[in-house]
């Protein structure tokens, strides 16, 4: 599959964290299909490389890096390399995340903060490192992948709290980018079939969704890709659930 030479994101550099994982890979590929040059970053350098290689094999442009988003100095170094090799970024998509399923009494403070560091501190470090590139361009797109867990209660306190923080960071950054042409949005996926999700729960999640199923990686990636387009310039500061309607009418979990 060759990529369109004049897609809606052509001549733009997109930075994608967590690009080696299921959703990150789907997002990277969707942006590349729309013409973006994609900087694939992941803590798993091999997985990130595989994503970039797949994009190149399909006729797109991508390079990969091993990067730890919790290391602000490393993220700044990544920004410098991306700028040199692919050009200044105009799109930032924060997908990298971590989940700890332990509840309060089993989850010590250090473990709690680890999730916060990855899921909230990581996006902050990436946005801060690349922000000036977007400002210099005079427009840009920032999309943070949060979760429906950040909009509701969820039985993974460190994960839910960190994703809620990411939703609020998304809204709070509107002040920093006021009048610049840069939009900041969050996408909040529901249950998906990924390595982070307990697959045994999929049938129950599907039963609780008005769609009658869980959402796919490509559906979430398509939402991210749209928010990165010029056509989405009027969408700013939203936390958009992509969950088949589940959290609009019910909740995934209860204590029955």
Strand ranges of the sheet holding 37-42, from the earlier edge strand across to the other edge: 61-66, 37-42, 13-17, 89-94, 140-145, 182-189, 239-242
Q: What is the DSSP string of 48-112?
A: HHHHHHHHHHTT-EEEEEE--TT-HHHHHHHHHHHHHHH-SEEEEEE---------GGG--HHHH
CA trace torsion 103, 106, 108, 111 (10° rounding): -60
Is 154 labeled as catalytic in the residue annotation? no
Rg of the chain (C-alpha set): 17
Indicate which residue of 124, 154, 159, 252 is catalytic. 159
Residues tagged active-site: 159
């Amino acid at each position: 599959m060759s990529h369109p030479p004049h897609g809606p994101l052509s001549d733009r550099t997109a930075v994608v964290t967590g690009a080696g994982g299921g959703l990150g890979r789907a997002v990277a590929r969707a942006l590349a299909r729309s013409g973006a040059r994609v900087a694939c970053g992941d803590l798993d350098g091999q997985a990130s490389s595989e994503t970039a290689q797949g994009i190149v094999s399909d006729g797109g442009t991508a390079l990969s890096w091993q990067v730890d988003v919790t290391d602000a100095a490393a993220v700044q170094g990544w920004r410098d390399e991306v700028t040199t090799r692919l050009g200044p970024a105009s799109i930032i998509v924060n997908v990298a995340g971590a989940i700890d399923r332990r509840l309060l009494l089993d989850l010590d403070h250090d473990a709690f903060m680890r999730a916060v560091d990855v899921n909230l501190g990581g996006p902050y470090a990436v946005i801060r490192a690349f922000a000036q590139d977007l400002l210099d361009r005079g427009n840009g797109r920032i999309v943070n992948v949060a979760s429906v867990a950040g909009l509701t209660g969820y039985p993974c306190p460190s994960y839910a709290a960190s994703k809620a923080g990411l939703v609020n960071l998304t809204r709070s950054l509107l002040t920093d980018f006021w009048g610049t042409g840069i939009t900041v949005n969050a996408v909040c996926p529901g249950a998906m079939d990924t390595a982070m999700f307990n697959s045994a729960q999929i049938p129950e999640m599907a039963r609780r969704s008005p769609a009658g199923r869980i959402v796919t990686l490509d559906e979430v990636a398509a939402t991210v890709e749209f928010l990165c387009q010029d056509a989405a310039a009027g969408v700013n500061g939203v936390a958009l659930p992509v969950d088949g309607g589940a959290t609009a009418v019910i909740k995934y979990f209860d204590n029955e």
